[in-house]
Amino acid sequence: GPVAETFRVIRGAVTEEFVRSTQGVFQFELSGDGGGTWYIDLKSKGGSAGFGKPPVTADVVMSMSSADFVKMFTGKLKPTMAFMSGKLRIKGNMALAIKLEKML
């Protein structure tokens, strides 16, 4: 589905440089179609992304619908707007959440 496809693209885009500059683990709690728990690990060597809980404890947990997640990662929805309008809930390190927004 679109969520799995988005994570496949993210996996392909993760570089050592991103991992070095970010040093954070992001967990996504997605509701709706293709939802569930997904993660992007930008802390462990090489980085990773995929379905399930991250291999290490997440620094940031973001909750949103899977449709909004796909919109956010395809540039159709600004993370700041999603957060302000209540479509995106963030728990944890806000500074890291902002770093992830830059990566998008």
- 2-102 topology per CATH: Nonspecific Lipid-transfer Protein; Chain A (3.30.1050)
Element (H, E) at 77: none
Question: Residue 83 is encoded by which pair of tokens?
Answer: 């957060």
Torsion angle of the four alpha carbons 103, 14, 53, 102, in this order, in degrees rounded to the nearest 10? 0
* DSSP notation for 60-79: EEEEEEHHHHHHHHTTSS-H
Reported as a single tens digit per residue, the pLDDT across 65-103 is 999 999 999 999 998 899 999 999 999 999 999 888 877
- When computed from its CA atoms, the radius of gyration of the chain, rounded to whole angstroms, is 12
* pTM, entire model: 0.94
- Domain range summary for the chain, segments of one domain joined by +: 2-102
DSSP 8-class letter at 95: H
